[in-house]
Amino acid sequence: MRSLASAAVLVLLGTGVSAHHSHPDFLLDHDATLEGVIESVEFQNPHMVITLRTSDSTLYRAEWQGARWLNYNQVLVTPIHGPVQSDTLKVGDFIVIVGCPPRDPARHELVNLKAVRRPHDDWLWTCRRPDLRQWC
């Protein structure tokens, strides 16, 4: 009976992880580029969230990798200034982001970010693993 309960927990955990990283409401085979000023940065796990205000004052929510993951994958930052940390991007920074748009254009969100660029100092984070799009 105990092993049956353990198996049920593993199945439920596996389902949750898969569902957590699936984005059926997004066009994962398309890229959208947004530029604007950061309104807020939530440097957290499981995902970092950036709220961006575009030039027409529209607010967008961009879901990035988790804080821990970004902190340990500094090879994805150019020039190599170190990992993405809680003070890397700040409210008021102008950035350009590339990610997957929602199927419904009324939803102002991006997921699976592929690039985050801060033009004023040429700081750039890119997913350098296009063969593993779900990884970045």
Q: Band of the pLDDT at 126, cuts 50, 70, 90?
A: confident
Residues sharing a CB contact under 8 Å with residue 48, sequence separation 6 or more, in sequence order: 41, 42, 63, 64, 65, 66, 67, 70, 84
> What residue ranges do the domains of the chain occupy?
25-132
What are the φ/ψ torsions at residue 107 (nearest 5 degrees)?
Answer: -85, 120
Q: Are 122 and 94 in contact (CB under 8 A)?
A: no
Q: Provide the CATH topology of domain 25-132.
A: OB fold (Dihydrolipoamide Acetyltransferase, E2P) (2.40.50)
Average pLDDT over residues 112-131: 85
What are the φ/ψ torsions at residue 34 (nearest 5 degrees)?
Answer: -125, 145
Identify the three-state secondary structure at position 77.
Answer: strand
Residue 58 pLDDT more than 90?
Answer: yes
Residue 2 pLDDT more than 70?
Answer: no
